[in-house]
Structures are given as structure tokens and as C-alpha cells.
Structure 1
Amino acid sequence: MDSLLCHELTLALGLARQAALISRTVLSEFFLAQQKSEVDSVTKSDFSPVTVADFAIQALLAGTLSEAFPDDGLVGEESADELRGNPRLLQQVAAVLKVAQGWEARDENHVCDVIDLCKGEGKGRTWVFDPIDGTKTFLKGKQYAINIALLAKREGRGSREEIVSVVACPLLDWTLGTGGGGEVINDASVDKTGRGAVIYCVKGHGVFVEPLFDKTEEEKPRQIPRHAEQVKTVEGLKSVTCWQSLDSGVDTVHENVAEKLGMDFPGNDLLGWVNRWVCLALGVGNTTVWVYKKRDRKAKIWDHAGAMLLFKEVGGKITDVDGKDIVLAEGRLLDQNFGFLAAPEAVHGIVLEAVQGAMREKEETRAGGGSI
């Protein structure tokens, strides 16, 4: 790939593979410990479990990137507060970090220190990452992803833009999207070969996918065609959503939108947002809508930054459900937007009209005293 960002991309790809190795190691140990009822975990404020892998991967990413690019900002999901108060868990994190190659912590305090490099909001050029997106499914041996993104200031504007995206999906089949468009996946669609997928892009240079593990010299990265550009009517829409594990979204709106557009629902059904963006990029789906239950609910930057670029690079358009562009301002939340709407650019306006119509109907039902 001919790009000034080749160094950043190459480093991020190597880190994605090392992080995936950590996740696979921890997952094997977790299942073994589960059988013996010896599982250590803590709980975050949103009640999702945090695993050894979350902390170890964030330490690997933050430690390596801070040394390689000392002037860059870092934003990550985890804080080391829980680790500092749980010596046994900290020992487990430090131990599993030894699986990775290329970066070593000086001691356990160093592990906590590099994790906490990511507690800020990020200014200027910033790396954003989610060490494990889909922790709940990860702990069940189902789909999860490791998200690494690089953002940079947009010239003449206060917001930032995505310039590099690398996503590791250790349980996703890297050949997805080559089956003629008939595939439909969910969190249980696990790659039986064990090779997984890494999908990546530099802005303006297209999207590529290759095996995450056991890549041979003969296997070349596969470039994903700009498939979303080929969709000109709503008949070509394919849904990606989160249905079985619906929590923060409004189910009636999402189902109503699909009905208005004649789209199969739920279609591709994935818990993790990063996996949903990957599904859209690969062409397994091409449309996703997400309306939060409350207006004050804001998305977290590490669930979307970078991964959204993958879909844009194949011809997709992404806004919020009010039709506004997604703003990656400095901060940890996407606080200038409400929800998400991603669709092929040619029909994005039609999908937006359906979404806003469904939202109005919901409000009218609520005002009339009906059930939602």
C-alpha cells in the first residue's frame, strides 16, 4: 500500500496479531478455569465483565504505541483502578502479557501506568482502541473484536478524522463476503478453521482483509470492492443489527424501519459494534440503524472510531439518526450525535426518511398512551 502511513499501519497490524494471541490464550485459560470454578473478573459501571484480556491488550497497545509515537495521544476503554486494588488479577495480567512479543512491562506498576495513559480525551493525532469489543460474547467463545484506530485533526476544523483502521476478529472467517452475498452471520458464526480475520484500511486506499493467524506467504491480502456503491435501490439493502442481545436500543423502531424498507430483519445479528462495522465493510450487510432509548445516551468513541472508516471506504455513508455527520471531537464520547445510520450512499436519504418516520410513529404512540 503506497501511503505515508505505512509505518503506522504495519505496527498496528503487528499489534493486532499480538493482541489476538493474548485474547486466544486468555480465552482458553478462562474456559479451563470456568470448569474448575476459579474465574477472576471485575465488573464495570455498565455491568459488563472485564477480563484479563481487556487489561493485558490495552497495556500492550498503550505501551507499544506510546514508545513508537510519544507525541500521539491515547484513548482506551479501560482504567487500571480495578487492577491496583486486586493484586491477584494484576499478576494474571502481567503473566499473560508475556505471551506477546515486542513489548515488555518493567514491573506490575508499569502495567498499570501504561493502561492509565489512555484515560485522557486525546488531542491532536490520537490512537483510539477497544481491547475487547464484545466482552460478553468473548466470554462465551463467540464473536468479539480488537479495535485499533488512528485519528488526526481535520485541517481548518476542530473535529478529527479517521485515517487508519485495524480490526482483529479472531473468530471471524476471513473469506466472508466472497460467497455471492448470501451469507448471514450472528455471534455464534465462529470460524472453524481457527484462522480468524484482520481487516484494515488507510483513508483513501481501500479496505483489505487477510487471515489473522497462520497466514502463508502465498496468501495475498484481499481487497474488498466498493460494494456499497453498487446498491442503488432499497431492494439491495441487507440489515446488520443487534437483536438477540438488544439492550440500549429501541426494538420497535428498528423492526419498523426494516418493514418500511422491505428489508429482512434482523438479518445479521451481532452484539459488538466493531463486529457490526466489519460486517458492513465485508458486504455481508450494508445497512444498520441504531436508535437509543434515551436522547442523553451517547456512544463511546472506541466502539466506532476507525471501524466506521472501513464502511466509508467501500462506499457507505454514515450519519446519526438526525441526519448529522458523526463528529469525532476531542473526548471519549460522541456527544454531538444521537444514534447511527449507515447505508449505501445512493439510498441513505431513503433509509433516513424511514428511520425518522418510525421515530415519529413511536412518539405518537407514546403520546397516545399506547405501549411501545
Structure 2
Amino acid sequence: MDSPYRLELSVAIGAVQAAAQIARTVQAAHLSSSSSSSQQQTGSSSSSNDTHIKEDLSPVTVADFAIQAMLTAKLREAFASDGVVGEESAAALREIGSDGAALLAAVVNVISRCTDSDAPVLDGEAVCELIDYGVADADPEITGADAGRVWVFDPIDGTRAFLRGEQYAINVALLEGGRQILTVVGCPLLSADAAAPATVADGDVDPSGRGCLLFAVRGYGAYARPLLLGPGQGEEERETRRLARHADGVSVDGLRSVTCWKHLDSGVDEAHEAVAQRLGLSFPGCDLLGWVPRWAVLALGLANVTVWVYKKRSRHGKIWDHAGAMLLFEEVGGLITDVDGRDIDLTKGRKLTANFGFVAAPRSVHHIVLKAVRDTLRAQGKQKLLQQ
């Protein structure tokens, strides 16, 4: 891709590839440890120092912390004046006691193992400072319309699936004035060659082991290529393909769904299913826990519609689950709004407080899908979820 953002794209791709190496290393060690613990279990409960449970009950692993530190380091080194918004906080690593110390030691160790030999060695305090750099810069103004360039990333999206050895993604986005400019998404377990009419679920793993890297620059299209090189390949031989604008001109009969079916408490499952029935769609279609993997399959054309209605109007999406990754679908002809039909507003900080839910579909039929969502909520007596 030849665009004004060649340097940014190159740095972000390199950072995501390095992040994927950390993720693969941690996932393999976690699964091996879990298997050994299961075999040795004698009825007593066991714990692992590679997982921490956040206050919102989502698991954070060594990989999340290590990748956020590494991404921050690489992006700050290349673009020192840019802002950074990351998902994680180093608070758990700073906890006094054996748990915090063990977790921090594991994070430092995996960074050391997966980093180039000529890179500076990071100690525990340096790692914590890098992780918290993205938190300190994440006040609402950092992504505002008057803000400059801001990098937003999710180290591991789909952590619960990651811990099971299933689909997850690494998301890096560049915003300018709250507008998506560039994205790089790494899906280490998703095949870059996956194509419709195939569907993908969390447990479906790329048999080649090469994974998928997707990237896009606004107005320059979306691309996919294997995350890892094949046997005997050099970098110049890595196959890269521009993704067709498959969402252009799609009719309702051509819609294919991606969702997360009965795995999250935040969404209204019965509404999602009823919308699909109203539109005549096979449901659930692709079924993925993480939002970034869902945006990835929408870009690849494995699906072309997704709907998400939260159970409460007070619930909002988080910027790192959507910023940048949404651009992949937009660059193949998709249109994304919330349930009220409003454009997704990325200028409000860490949470998308100006929006409620998501409706993503080919531009040609988005209005039909949006009407189906709103008609379904009324028919189910859920008018309180609609903007009055």
C-alpha cells in the first residue's frame, strides 16, 4: 500500500508482529501449565500467577500487560509526540505482596524473551511506567475532535478465548482528531485465506498456524496477509492481498451474520436472534467472543452484518475494542452506526458514551438492518432501549 502513512503503517505492523510473538509464547505456556495442573489436580483448588481478574471480572494475562508495555515503547520511540490510549493499568503489578511481584516478574520475563537482543532491557518499574503511560493520557480530551494524533490499542481482545487457546486479536489504531486514520489487527489463530461461505467460531484455529494480519489506511483500502512467514519464505515473498469491497451493493438475501451468541451478559441475545429471523439470516453465523475478531471477519467477508444491543442504555463500548478495527469493514463498503442510527463517536475518551450498541452492515442495506433492529426491540417490549 502506498499512502502518506507508510512509516506509521510499517511501525504498527512491526509492533503487532512482535505483540503476536508475546501472545503465542504466553498462550502456549498457559495451555501447557493448565494441562499439567489438570492432570495433577487432586481435588484442591489451584491458582496461576499468569492471570489476574480485573474489577469488571475480565481476565488479564501476562500477555495483556507485556504487549501493552511493548506497544507503548515502540510507538513512543517512533512517534514521541503522539498520545497513547491503552486498555490496561499496572495497578495489579504494583500490588505489594507475592501475587503482584510474581505477575510483574512474569511480564518482565516474557518481554525479555520475546524482544530483539539489541533492544534495551526493561526492569519492573520501567514496564509499569510504560503500561500506565496509556492510562495517564486517557482523559476524555485525549481523543477529542481538537486532539492531535493518538494511538489506541487493545493488547489482547477476547482474553477469555485466549486463555482457552481460541480466537483472539491484537488491535492498534491511529486516530487524528478522533477520526480513524489507520489500523493494524493481528489475529494469530485466524486464517488469512478464510473466505465465505465458511463461518468461524472461537474454537476454529488456522490449521497452517500462520494466522492473519489485516491493515487499512482510510481511503486506501483494506489488506490481509499471513501473520507469519511460510516455510522457507522471505519477507518479500509474504502474500498480501487487497480485500475486495465485498459489502458494496449487497442485498438483504446476501447478508451473513457474525455475533457473540450466549457468551456475554452485556447483550440482549433474544433481540439479536430475532433481528436475524426478521431479516431471514442464518444465525448465529460466525460466533466470536472478541469484538476485534468480529470486525476482522467482517473485513474478510466471512460475514457482513453484526448487531449488538446492550441490556442497559448506560452500557457503552470501549474505544480499544472498536477504534481502527471498524475501519477495516468501512474500507470494504460497510457502514457502522449505533442502534439510534448515529455515527460512532470516538472523541469521548475510553468509553463510547455518545453511542448505544452497534449496527454494522453493507451501506446498501444498512437502513433495512437498522429498521429491523428497532422494530424488533419494539415488538419485544424493549422500547426503553430506544432513544426517545
TM-score (ref. length: structure 1): 0.93
Residue ranges of structure 2 left out of the alignment (5+ in a row): 38-46
How far, CA to CA, are the matches of 1:43 and 1:265 in structure 2?
Answer: 32
Deviations 1:148-198 (A, max 9, x none): 000001xxxxxx111110000000011012xxx211111011001110000
Q: Name the residue aligned to 2:205.
A: 190
2:129 aligned to which of 113, 117, 131: 113
Q: Distance in 2 between matches of 1:127 and 1:141?
A: 28
Q: How many residues align?
A: 357
Look up the match of 1:157.
Answer: none
Q: State the partner residue of 1:82.
A: 92
Given that 2:66 and 2:108 are in contact with CA atoms closer than 8 Å, whether structure 1 keeps it comes out as: yes
- SS at 2:174 equivalent: strand
**Is the Cα contact below 8 Å between 2:333 and 2:362 reproduced in 1?**
yes
Q: Check conservation: 1:209, 1:223, Cα contact below 8 A.
A: yes
Cα-to-partner distance string for 1:133-160 (whole Å, 9 max, x where unaligned): 000000000000000000001xxxxxx1
Match of 1:46 in 2: 56
Tell me whether 1:277 sits opposite 2:291 in the alignment.
Answer: no
How many Å apart are 1:33 and its aligned residue? 2.0
2:156 is aligned with 1:132? yes
Matched position secondary structure for 1:59: helix
**Offset at residue 64 of structure 1 (A):** 1.2
Partner of 1:370: none
Contact 2:108 2:122 in 1 (8 A): no
Following the alignment from structure 2 to structure 1, what is the Cα–Cα distance between the partners of residues 361 and 63? 33
Query: Residue 72 of structure 1 corresponds to which residue in structure 2?
Result: 82
Higher mean alpha-carbon deviation, 327-336 vs 99-108, is at 99-108
Cα distance, 1:63 vs. partner?
Answer: 1.1
Other-structure match for 1:329: 347
Secondary structure of the residue that 1:363 maps to in structure 2? coil
Alignment-mate amino acid for residue 349 of structure 1: H
1:87 Cα offset (Å): 0.9
Contact kept, 8 Å, 1:244 with 1:269, in 2: the verdict is: no
Corresponding position of 2:174: 150
Alignment of 1:221 with 2:230, yes or no, is no
The correspondence for 2:327, drawn from 299, 309, 317, is 309
Q: Distance in 2 between matches of 1:56 and 1:104?
A: 15
- Give 5+ residue unaligned stretches, structure 1: 154-159, 368-372
Whether 1:167 and 2:185 are equivalent positions in the alignment is yes
Give the letter for the 2:242 counterpart: Q
1:95 aligns with 2:109: yes
**Structure 1 counterpart of 2:19:** 19
1:342-353 equivalences under 5 Å are 342-353=360-371
Residue aligned with 2:57, SS: coil
1:225: Cα distance to partner? 0.2
Secondary structure of 1:227 counterpart: coil
Letter of the structure 1 residue corresponding to residue 125 of structure 2: N
CA distance in 1, matches of 2:156, 2:246: 28
8 Å CA contact 1:165–1:307 kept in 2: the answer is yes
RMSD: 1.6
SS in 1 for 2:278: helix
User: Residue 93 of structure 1 aligns to which amino acid in structure 2?
Assistant: V
